[in-house]
């Protein structure tokens, strides 16, 4: 701080010296001329006094020696005339010098006024300089505070960078863990799909075996009935009563398996509604189980589909649910993109009919009501939502506790 003050003082002294030289140099010649004029005035005054003395001496000599020689008198008069002429010239020069002295004095007064004005300006500049110095000190203090704040911010930035690095490492570890869990989940899903495929194949084999056995048994019963028309009804009645007490052999397992079979083929009741009952009018037995058995014998064996009728991409990610509309050829699908979509499949290619949104998680099941006017969808966020098919608006939304 002391060094800064010393430099400031030296700079101020240097600037003041430059200002003095800049303001004195234009008037230096005037001051020198004024000094020379003063010297000339003094010299002329001395010469004037000397000439006056000589003039007086000549006058006195002339007065005393006027009666003498005429030649000397003429010479004295010529000398007096020359001296008077010289005195007149000196007086004119002195008058001119006085005039120039007055002009120089006026210039000096003007310069003094300018000097006073410059001094006032210097005082104002000094006061402004003092204010600037105070402001400079304040700014220096602020700069010091900002430097300290900058240091603190640098330290904080380094801390944040370290935390960011740690979080990145933790995030990388979590990503690795997530990839491992996803891989494990994929393996588990593959195993689950294999198990489900095996269960489906086993169930299909059981259904086919049961259908073959049942068909063979029904054929034998019908052949026996054809051979013995008179004893058919009593035997069937006896069989039905025995079945009602002990079961139709495999009929108990058939009842259990029939529920599964009815979900795929429409069941035996569908056969009755299709017209099989017209062939059973001859039977008056109230045993519905026997009627179902005989009706089933007239139906053709259901076959698994072997070709793809239609294929299309329903969702951006996985498709988790699908359901037919009960009243029209409209298909509802739900997927991992949190949307329920309605598709019109009545034409050669499926056309999107509506996109029902509002779920905050992937859809896992969809279903229509019996009239086809409402559709419900459940999602992985423990929520269920109901939309109207007519205007595709969300009507009900709710969540259950986890």
If one counts every other C-beta atom within 10 angstroms of the C-beta of residue 340, the result is 27
DSSP helix/strand/coil, 241: helix
Domains of the chain: 319-398 (2.40.10)
pLDDT score recorded for residue 162? 93
| Regions in the chain scoring below 50 on pLDDT | 67-68, 231-301
Phi and psi torsions of 362, nearest 5°: -65, 145
pLDDT score recorded for residue 23? 74
Per-residue pLDDT reduced to its tens digit, 115-173: 889 889 999 999 999 999 999 999 999 999 999 999 999 999 999 999 999 999 999 99
CB 40 within 8 A of CB 104: no
pLDDT score recorded for residue 267? 38
Distance separating alpha carbons of residues 84 and 76, to the nearest angstrom: 12
Sheet holding 330-335, edge to edge: 319-324, 330-335, 340-344, 351-356
b (16+ CB within 10 A) / e for 364-392: eebebeeeeebbbbbbeeebbbbbebeee
pLDDT score recorded for residue 2? 64
Return the structure tokens found at 188: 């588990």
C-alpha of 392 from chain center: 34
299, HSE (Cβ side, Cα atoms, 13 Å): 25
pLDDT score recorded for residue 73? 64
pLDDT score recorded for residue 152? 94
Sign of CA dihedral 81, 86, 89, 90: negative
- List alpha helices for 228-266, DSSP H: 232-246, 251-265
């Amino acid at each position: 701080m002391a060094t800064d003050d010393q430099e400031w003082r030296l700079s101020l002294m240097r600037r003041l010296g430059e200002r003095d030289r800049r303001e004195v140099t234009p008037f230096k010649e005037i001051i020198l001329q004024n000094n020379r004029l003063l010297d000339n005035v003094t010299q002329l005054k001395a010469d004037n006094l000397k000439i006056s003395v000589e003039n007086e001496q000549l006058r006195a000599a002339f007065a005393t020696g006027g009666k003498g020689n005429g030649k000397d008198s003429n010479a004295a008069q010529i000398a007096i005339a020359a001296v008077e002429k010289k005195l007149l010239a000196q007086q004119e020069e002195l008058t001119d010098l006085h005039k120039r002295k007055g002009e120089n004095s006026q210039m000096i007064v003007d310069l003094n006024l300018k000097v006073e004005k410059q001094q006032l300006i210097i005082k104002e500049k000094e006061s402004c300089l003092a204010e600037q110095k105070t402001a400079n000190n304040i700014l220096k203090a602020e700069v010091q505070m900002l430097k300290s704040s900058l240091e603190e911010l640098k330290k904080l930035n380094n801390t944040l960078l370290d935390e960011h690095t740690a979080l990145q490492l933790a995030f990388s570890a979590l990503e690795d863990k997530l990839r491992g869990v996803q891989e494990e989940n994929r393996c588990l899903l593959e195993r689950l799909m294999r198990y489900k495929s095996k269960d489906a194949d086993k169930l299909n084999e059981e259904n086919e075996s049961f259908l073959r056995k049942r068909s063979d048994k029904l054929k034998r019963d019908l052949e026996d009935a054809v051979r013995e028309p008179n004893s058919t009804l009593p035997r069937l009645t006896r069989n039905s009563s025995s079945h009602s007490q002990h079961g139709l052999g495999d009929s108990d397992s058939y009842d259990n398996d029939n529920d599964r079979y009815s979900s795929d083929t429409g069941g035996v009741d569908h056969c009755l509604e299709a017209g099989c009952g017209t062939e059973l009018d001859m039977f008056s037995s109230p045993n519905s189980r026997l009627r179902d058995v005989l009706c089933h014998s007239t139906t053709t064996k259901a076959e698994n589909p072997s070709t793809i009728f239609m294929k299309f991409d329903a969702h951006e990610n996985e498709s988790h649910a699908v359901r037919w509309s009960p009243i029209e050829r409209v298909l509802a699908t739900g997927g991992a993109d949190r949307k329920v979509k309605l598709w019109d499949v009545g034409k050669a290619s499926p056309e999107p009919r509506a996109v029902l949104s509002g779920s905050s998680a992937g859809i896992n099941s969809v279903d229509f009501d019996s009239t086809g006017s409402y559709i419900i969808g459940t999602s992985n966020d423990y929520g269920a939502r109901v939309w109207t098919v007519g205007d595709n608006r969300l009507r009900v939304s709710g969540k259950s506790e986890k």
